[in-house]
Structures are given as structure tokens and as C-alpha cells.
Amino acid sequence: MKYKLSQILKLFDNPEVSGSEDVEITAIASLEKALPSELSFLGNKKYAHEVPATKAGVVLLPRSYSGDMPEKAVVVKVGNPSAELAKICALVEKELFPKPVPSIHPNAVIDRNAKIGKDVFIGANAVICEGAEIGDRAVIQGNNYIGRHAKIGEDVLLMPNVVVMDYCEVGKRCRIQPGAVIGSDGYGYEFVNGKHERVPQVGRVVLEDDVDVGANTCIDRARFDKTVVGAGTKIDNLVQIAHNVQIGKGALLVSQVGISGSTKIGNYCVLGGQVGVAGHLSIGDGSMIGGQSGINGDIPPKSYMRGTPPRPYMQAHKIDVLVGHIQDFFDRLKEVEKRLGIERKTFGKK
């Protein structure tokens, strides 16, 4: 990485620059670790105290910043430093991970009845099964498996070791990280005559356009009909989405979320890390669920909840504070009982 600040400023929206635009940038670093040839930024106000002492050559600050400035750095004020930094990262990404030249590796196995679009890249050991369709400009990296009659949309990126099972559909511009499985069997069994009998899962998975799926995430095919992930939804690593789940548009699912079968997640919901959702529930549009919560009932739209069972966020916070004072409460109660001459029985015993 080597860019003049003047090149980078062309990416930004109305930057306010204090210092020379000729400074050269060779890397991106945190405020604490940045060197004079590197660029840093203030994306979270909790790190504002690190700004004055940073050794970075260039610092992106929000326009609202009013604290002490670094002594030697060129300061660039913008509306949203994190968003502007993303533009720099996109520029660097194109150099570090250039899109491969359209081609098909000789070790790829492609069924003669598969349909391959224009300007497609298919890597080594990829398997494209009967009736599968690969859209224009798709990138299918090494060791991918595309099942029978599966559909891969235009401009899709499948990183190594992705599996898209039979009849599943991946929309345009989706990005699927290594090891993800789209269309594994849903978890369905019936207890019959003393045995757990498998219930065949004959549906499929549909990812709408612009969905991102993290590494080693599993999205199960439906028992019937389809499991759906709405357009623009972003799914982190190690997420489990069960059969017949319906996820709306623009949702965010953080690592280790688990969603049980037939649950509906509304548009633009946010589920924090390790949230568990029971089956056949509904989480309303725009709801936010705090990390490690256990959801066992329907959640109304635009709720902000956390905990097990879930409660409104600030109520849950107050309860956590009170729990920390329970011992003090019982000690004080014991003293009151003693003064009143009340015989203490089982309540509050240690």
C-alpha cells in the first residue's frame, strides 16, 4: 500500500484538511499503534483520548470532534470516519484480492447439462452438477460444490469450500465465505415405535440479492417450500439458520446466532452474538436483541430487548444491577428482623 493523501481525498465527501496533501500513506493502523507513514481514524468516541498522542501521519476525525489535536498529523475531518475508511479499504482490497480473470480450471468438474454464464471464473476442483446455473461474472473459487439445479446469480462470489446444495438459489452479488453450507438438511425427526425417524426435508434455500454469509455458517433447506434470507441481510460466521426460517431484508445476524425452525425475523432486525431463538416465533421489523439472549416468545416490532427471558433493554440492565446487591439486601433485612425481634425462618438464609 502506498498512496498520496491527495489520491485518497478524492474518495471522500467534502473533507476538511488541515496540513499537506502530499504526505504518503503506506498502511492503516489504530491510533495507539500508528506510525508517521500510516493513516488512522477515530471511529468510536471511547478512543478520543488517544487522538492527541497518536503518531499517525494522517488522522480521520468526525467533524464534531472538538478535543485536542495531534501535534504532527495531517487532520482530515469528515462526516463519518468509519464510512470513509471503508472507501480506502475498498481501494486496497482491489489490489490485494483482485478479481480473477474469467476462466475455468482444467480440474473443475462441470456437468454437460449445467449452464455457465459469461465471464465466469471456476477454480480448481469445483464441482458443478447437472442442471446448475451459474450467472454472468460469478466467481466460484476452488473446492466449491454446486448441487443439481442450483442457481447462482450474477456477480456472486463463492469463496473456497462453499457448498450450495440441490435446488438452492443464491441471488445477485451475494458473498459467501469459506466453509458455509447452503441447503443442508433441516433437523427434523418424529419419534415412532421407540425410534427417531428422519423426516425428509424436500424444500430449498433462497438467498435474495446482496446477502453476505459468514464462514462455516449453515442454512438448512426447508422441510417443504423454502428457507428465505431477505435482500441485503448480512450474516456473520458460525450462524445456524434452521428449516423454513424466514429472514427479512437488511437484517444483521452476529456470530453464533441460532434460529430454530419456522421462525420469522423481520426487516432490519439485529441479533447480537449468541442469541438463541426458539421455533415458530416472530420477531418484528426493526427489533434489536442483545447478545446471549434467549428468545422464547414473539417480539413486537422496534423492540430493544435482551436477556433470558428477554426484557426491555434498560429494564434488563436495572435487574442486573439489582442482582449484584442481593447479598447486601439480605444482610440489611436480617438486621431489621433482629431489631424487630422477628424470628428468621428460611427466607434469605445463606
- Give 65-113 pLDDT, tens digit per residue: 999 999 999 999 999 999 999 999 999 999 999 999 999 999 999 999 9
Q: What is the pTM of this model?
A: 0.90
pLDDT of residue 330: 87
CB 30 within 8 A of CB 46: no
Q: Is 280 a catalytic residue?
A: no
List of domains in the chain:
3-96 (3.40.1390.10), 103-314 (2.160.10.10)
Residue 169's DSSP bridge partners are 151, 206
Provide the pLDDT confidence category of residue 164 given band limits of 50, 70 and 90.
Answer: very high
Q: How many CB atoms lie within 10 A of CB 240?
A: 19
Instruction: Report the length, in residues, of the chain.
Output: 350
pLDDT of residue 174: 98
149: left (phi > 0), else alpha (psi -120 to 50), else beta?
Answer: left
Average pLDDT, the chain: 95
Of residues 47 and 330, which shows the higher confidence score? 47
pLDDT of residue 344: 66
pLDDT of residue 346: 58
Q: Which of 105, 196, 243, 317 is catalytic?
A: 243
Neighbouring residues of 302: CB distance < 8 A, sequence distance ≥ 6? 284, 285, 286, 287
Q: Which helix (H) or strand (E) is 110 found in, with range?
A: strand 109-110
CA distance 306 to 302: 13
Q: How many CB atoms lie within 10 A of CB 64?
A: 8
The CA-atom distances, in angstroms, between 224 and each of 163, 188, 189, 228, 334 are 20, 11, 14, 12, 60
pLDDT of residue 161: 98
Residue 61's DSSP bridge partners are 77
33: left (phi > 0), else alpha (psi -120 to 50), else beta?
Answer: alpha
What is the tens place of the pLDDT at every residue in 232-265?
Answer: 999 999 999 999 999 999 999 999 999 999 999 9
What is the tens place of the pLDDT at every residue in 121-140?
Answer: 999 999 999 999 999 999 99
CB 7 within 8 A of CB 22: no
CB 37 within 8 A of CB 49: no
Residue 264: strand, helix, or coil: strand
DSSP letter assigned to residue 293? -
Q: Which of 242, 240, 208, 206 is nearest to 226 (CA)?
A: 206
